[in-house]
Structures are given as C-alpha cells and as structure tokens.
Amino acid sequence: MATTTLGRRGRAVPVGGRHRPALRALLYLSPWLAGFSVFFAYPLIATVYFSFQRYDLFTLEPVGLLNYRYFLQDEAAWTAIRNTLWLVVVMVPARLLFGLGVAQLVTKLKAGAGFYRTVFYLPSLVPLVAGTLGFVYLLNPGTGPVPTILSAVGLPSPDWFGDPGWAKPGLTLLGLWSVGDLMVIFLAALLDVPKQLYEAAALDGAGPWQQFFHVTLPVIRPVLMFAAVTGVIQTLQYFTQAMVAARVASGSTDSAGSVFTPGYPAQSTLTFPEWLFHQGFRDFAMGYACVLALILFAVSMVFTLFLLRQFRGLAEEDA
C-alpha cells in the first residue's frame, strides 16, 4: 500500500511525489552532468591541485606557490604571451575583415558564385599540417615559386619564416589563406539580411557604405560576435601551424638525439600553448605546465567576457 501525505491544497500526495519533477530533470541531465564532471570539473580541479606540486609523472612533492613564482621569472613564457597576444590582436581582426570582404564580394557576383565559393572554401578543408607545409614551401626564399615570381618581376621577397620580423606576418597570411570557414558563415548571414531593409535605405538616400554600416552590420552582429569569440579562443590555442612552420623553416628533424626548441626563428613564433606543451611533455614539469594551463584558461575567459560585454553594449545602443 502506497504511503501518502497531504499537499498544500489538502490533496493526498504520495511520499516523494514533490521531488519527482526535480529527480526526473536530474535524470535527463545526468549524461551532461557526467560529461561535465569527467571532462571539465575533475580536470580543472586536478590542474589546480597539481599546480601546487612538483610533478614529473613519477614523483609528487608539494611546493606551495613555487611554480607561480617561477612563472613571473620565466622569460620564455612572457615571450610566448607577447607572441600570442600579437596574433590575437592582428590575426583575428584580419581574418574577420578578410572573411567578411570575401563573403560580401561573392554575394555581388552575377555568375559563377558557386565556383568561387568552392575555391575560397577549399583551403579550410586542408589538414593543418599539410596546409602549413605547403604554405612554407610556397614562400621558401630558396625554392618557393612565390619568391621566384616576385624576383622575376623585380619585387623583393622577405624570408617569411626565417626572419623574426616576418614570421608572425607569415602565419597571419596562412590564416587568411584558410579563411573559407569564416567566409561560409558570413555568406549565410549576408544572404539572410532582408532585401526590404536595403530598399528602404535606398529610398532614404543611403549609399552603399551607409547601407553596409547601418543595415548590414547591425543585422549580422550576432554572427560577428560568434566569429570573434571563437576566433579569439582558437588563436589563444594556436599551436599546430606555428610548430610545423618553425620545424620546417629550421630544417630540424624529430630523429633520436635531436633537440628542438619551439619558436624558430629567435622565439618569434613561440606561442603560449607551445610553451605549455614543451614544459609538460618535453621537460615533464607537469606542475608548472598546470600553472600555464590555468593562466591560459583565465585569459580565455577574460577575453570572452570582454567581447560578449562589448557586443551586448552595441546591441543595446541599436535597440
């Protein structure tokens, strides 16, 4: 016989019935909660714990704040921070502007739009390692076709991945070459802008630039926000292209006995994730690598919240 109790309105309610909706919701959320606990909460707590330890995969020794104090004196880490911030400040806006410009250009084409969409999108499908290898080869001052063509027409060609002053611009060019992923997102947003808004703006005497700034940009602002936030997060995790370009340009191999320090030439391509990887999986300073991982996580959160706040403020001004 089921046990009951009186509810608020004097109705008989089975014992535990008040909690059934909450238990049902918890049951539905359990897969997400399990994934969140295993893949985010536990690693984050473990990272904080190991950041106060000297840990080399074999020994564990509490060291207090020693890893954090070492970070303040680690010149390579600060070089990596400056390089990564350079890429965030230059590469992310450059990719946004170039992707938006290409998408805007494709929408204006009267014929062959599908062909050009495919041409601009294909580079983003190339694997990162293969694309970086090909790009370094194309710009190689000794054997690359691009410097050969520039020399034939009398134009100078810098040593893109061998000169510390041109290495990061070279990586930015590589990012622009593979802008097809952003182009597709912006193209979908531009095609979704109502034509009536352009017609009304034209009747009011608005020119092409005024229509772009007062019609197009406000409508596609959520897409711009998404592209900016994801672009900043991806650039803060910039690793593969910088590592492959530095290895190829330096001519080093991964053979036994060889030692490769990331950042060639002269630490100009050393990014924060590269230094984190080097500390954790080359020097096996896991405790210090956990400190770098926590700093990267905190910086990513600050950048994301800042961008969300800025875009929300612009949206409220338009409203």
Domain ranges of the chain: 75-318
pLDDT of residue 152: 85
Rounded Cα–Cα distance for residues 142 and 129 (Å):
21
Burial letters 106-133, b for 16+ CB under 10 A, else e = beeeeeeeeeebeebbebeebeeeebbb
Mapped onto helix, strand or coil, the DSSP state of residue 62 is strand
- pTM of the prediction? 0.85
pLDDT of residue 235: 95
Q: Span 75-318: which CATH code?
A: 1.10.3720.10
> For 111-164, what is each residue's pLDDT tens digit?
888 898 899 999 999 999 999 998 888 888 877 888 888 888 888 888 888 899
pLDDT of residue 7: 56
Helix or strand run (H / E) with residue 54: strand 53-55
Rounded Cα–Cα distance for residues 190 and 5 (Å):
60
pLDDT of residue 316: 72
Give the closest residue to 249 by CA, choosing from 239, 269, 264, 262: 264
The β-bridge partners of 4 are: 14
**Cβ-count burial of 181 within 10 angstroms (0-12 exposed, 13-18 middle, 19+ buried)?**
middle
Positions of the chain with pLDDT under 50: 1
User: What φ, ψ does residue 12 adopt, rounded to 5°?
Assistant: -75, 125
pLDDT of residue 314: 73
Kindly report the average pLDDT of the chain as a whole number. 88
Mapped onto helix, strand or coil, the DSSP state of residue 79 is helix
> For 224-262, what is each residue's pLDDT tens digit?
999 999 999 999 999 999 999 998 888 776 666 666 778
pLDDT of residue 14: 58
The β-bridge partners of 62 are: 53
Asked if 67 and 51 touch (Cβ cutoff 8 Å), the reply is yes
